Structure 1
């Protein structure tokens, strides 16, 4: 079975993005621009199962991953240890189902899932169902959720 280091298009890259609006003391919506840069990336993947067209159907990921998430407006940063283990089912419609043990980085847009709009470290035993349109539904069996926005605000 093919395996190897993750690189290129194997995993979404975290780059400059806008984290959801937060409210100032005056009640105005503020955007928090962030940038993510891997400090440690020892993630490996193994294709466990393939679709009939030979595209990946089920992929296992594991390894150390620490991402520095920086508020580009202030320079404040948070080092997110997202060294979880995941089994990701890639459906033919473009949707995905993640079975996760340990921490992963999850970004949720406005109306984009069952978590409020933000960037999170979701840690523990959980699943994440990502629709073909990107809507994310996180089901926590046991664990914690850290809003990175609150760490670098």
Structure 2
């Protein structure tokens, strides 16, 4: 597992089914709140050619709201912390423990779109976007622009991709 100290994330949490952060502050991290990742399921053909289940086996992700919109909803949020997701092909039982312990700064736009500035490994699910349909660990320095319709524009500045569908297929 890798710990990074940049301005923050665990991208997986929001891209693949996070639950809202719990109230309170995470121990030892003043101003940061837990941002737990919920287990998730994706039907065959949505990301991989087979159904996939994801579940955190390590989840120490925290978030910090840096600014809000006029209505009080989060506008800019930093995420950081260790996150390992077990990604399972539910047809065969094949699985892979994916390190998604990167960091990100996320801008939530009023039209429902999002812009991510990311460092480190995160799990990105793509239905439609600049990467082919699939589940990926994207590791390095990159941005992710998610349109209100869900299109994902991944701009790899200095990053690599690992195709998890191929790993567990």
**Structure 1 and Structure 2 fold alike (TM over 0.5):** yes
1:149 corresponds to: 165
Q: Determine which of 73, 76, 80 is the counterpart of 2:91.
A: 73
1:82 corresponds to: 100
Match of 1:150, SS? helix
1:107 corresponds to: 125
Distance apart, 1:143 and its partner CA: 1.4
Distance 1:19 1:130, change over 3 A: farther
Determine which structure has greater relative contact order: mean sequence separation of CA pairs < 8 Å that are 6+ residues apart, divided by chain length.
2
- Bigger share in strand: 1
> Would you identify which runs of 4 or more consecutive aligned residues in structure 1 move more than 3 Å?
19-22
Aligned pairs (5 A) from 1:46-61: 46-61=64-79
Q: Determine which of 119, 129, 138 is the counterpart of 1:122.
A: 138
When normalised by structure 1's length, the TM-score is 0.86
Which deviations, in whole Å up to 9, do the C-alpha atoms of 1:33-53 show, x marking residues without a partner? Answer: 110010000000000011111
The structure with the larger Rg is: 1
Match of 1:39, SS? strand
When normalised by structure 2's length, the TM-score is 0.78
**Length, aligned pairs only:** 140
Distance apart, 1:16 and its partner CA: 1.3
1:4 and 2:33 equivalent? yes
2:25 corresponds to: none
Structure 1 unmatched ranges of 5 or more: 23-29
Aligned partners of 1:131 and 1:125: how far apart in 2? 20
When the two chains are superposed, the root-mean-square deviation of aligned CA atoms in Å is 1.9
